[in-house]
Amino acid sequence: MVQHLEAYSPSWWDEAACRGIGNFHFFGEDERQCSLKRARIICGGCKAIKSCLTHALENKEEYGIWAGTSARAREKLIVLIEQGLDVETVVKMTLSNPRFRWAQYGG
C-alpha cells in the first residue's frame, strides 16, 4: 500500500487486505488516478480497516485512499476531530455510517 508503512510496519499492517497488492488503487499523482471503487472492494472486508482509518486520521494523511476513504472525506473527518471529537469516535461513526456500507470491518 504505502512504502512508509512497509518501512516501519505498524502492528495492523500484517492484517491489511491491501498488503502486497501495490499502490495503484490507493495512490496516484492525484485522487482522480486512484480507484476508489476498487479500493473499497479491497478495504470492505479488511480486518485492519479500523486501524487503517485511525492511522490516516491521526497522521493527517493528505494523499491516497485509506480505509476506503478519499483525502476529501478525511479532511471533513479531521475537522470533527479538531472540533473536539476523539479519533475513536470519528472512526466508529464513519465506519457505521450507512454511506459507508461497503465497510464490513471486523474490528
pLDDT tens sequence across 9-37 = 678 888 999 888 777 667 765 555 567 78
- The Cα–Cα gap between 68 and 97 comes to 13
Higher pLDDT pick, 87 / 24: 87
Give per-residue pLDDT as tens, 27-78.
765 555 567 788 888 888 899 999 999 999 999 998 888 998 988 999 999 9
Residue 7's identity, in one-letter code, is: A
pLDDT for 19 equals: 84
Q: What is the pTM of this model?
A: 0.80
Average pLDDT in the chain: 81
Which residue do the cell numbers 486501524 mark? 51
Torsions phi, psi for 103 (to 5 deg)? -85, 90
pLDDT for 57 equals: 97
pLDDT for 93 equals: 92
pLDDT-based confidence at 7, cuts 50/70/90? low
Q: Dihedral sign, CA of 86, 91, 94, 97?
A: negative
- The Cα–Cα gap between 37 and 68 comes to 8
**48: Cβ contacts below 8 Å, ≥ 6 apart:** 12, 13, 15, 16, 17, 107
Rg (CA), the chain: 13
The strand ranges marked E within the chain are none
- The Cα–Cα gap between 98 and 75 comes to 19
